[in-house]
Chains A and B, each alone.
Chain A
Amino acid sequence: MADSQSRGPDLSKTEPLSLKAFAASLYHAERADNYFKFLHNFSEEELARFLQGLLLQVGDAIDDGNTDALTRFVQRGQVAAYAPTQTAAPFRPDFPDSPFAPMRKPLREATIALFSSGAIYRDDQDPYYPAELTYEQAVRDVRKARERIPSVRVIPAETPEERLCVGHVAYDIRAAQKDINVIFPLTRFRELAQEGSIGALAQRNYSYHGLTNIPRLMQESAPQWAHMLKDDGVDAVFLTAG
């Protein structure tokens, strides 16, 4: 075993890194990691508990060859970190009402469109963030995303999966890059149409970058997009959020 003490960095000259500082660095900063950025919502004690639990789960996953419990542990961590932060705000009003349009056709006759805030785009479309930035730079510059005017990409029904890309800067996109159906299930809906479970997948499906200028989204973009769907003649819309 190598003697790391003789060749390692001189730790006496570096600032000690607290757990909180480490977690903060995951949040769109120098160690940006959208999978685990939720850790920045935890207190130092919560962080310690979570990390110790994570290590236990990793050990079990290695020994058992089964990641189900590990997945569940991380998912519970995300719920614990994010849920308390979602309170009413100008961009997230506690609406007193809930507009409701009834289904007018059975599913087997209905044309259904996909609509996702997951920032899906085709390889010949713009990726939602400025072309002069790399994706990694756009992730670190997340505040700019909240200022950008909402824009939508049309995804035709027959688009092959390999032509679909993901440009969202605020969630971990690795799963969607491996299998776009985790957030934009175009292939699954084509299969449902083929087997007759639904009438058809709409010719035009849509995505936008969910982290955006919300007043503009609420006042202008969302009503415009609703009219586009009306013009498309779809019978229902299946929406996903990252």
Chain B
Amino acid sequence: MTVGHVARAIETAGIPTVCVYIEAFRPDAQLLKPARTLITPHLMGRPLGLPHRPDRQFAVIRAALKLLETAEHAPTMKLFTP
């Protein structure tokens, strides 16, 4: 789950980030501490949910974008609840 390393570098360069991680990899995000993380109850390889479910995909994206706007400190981690 190396994306946390990339998010940290992007934040260090001054650009805000939000990461979507699946629940199975939450401990990884708790250690790497990217600035904003949305944890989804989805399967590996499907962080935004099952294929051809655009409503779920939009819901995950909107929850992640809300984190971008509302997080006031890092790390901020939220659980996505469908």
Contacts and interface: CB of A to CB of B under 8 A. Distances in A.
Size bin of chain B's contact surface: 35 or more
Contacts of B13: 101, 223, 226-227, 229-230
Contacts of A83: 24-27
A79 B58 contact: no
A42 to B, nearest CB: 14
A230 B76 CA distance: 23
Interface stretch (A8-16, A20-28, A132-140, A214-222): A214-222
A22 to B, nearest CB: 20
A188 B68 contact: no
Contacts of A241: 1-4, 19-22, 25, 47
B7 A239 contact: yes
Contact of B1 (A98, A178, A210): A210
Contacts of B5: 214, 217-218, 222
Contacts of A94: 31
Interface of B: 1-28, 31-35, 41-52, 54, 57-58, 61-62, 64-65, 68-69, 73-75
Given A222-B9, A236-B16, 16 more contacts: A79-B23, A95-B33, A98-B11, A101-B11, A102-B16, A107-B69, A115-B10, A118-B45, A176-B45, A179-B51, A214-B2, A237-B18, A239-B18, A239-B19, A240-B20, A241-B22
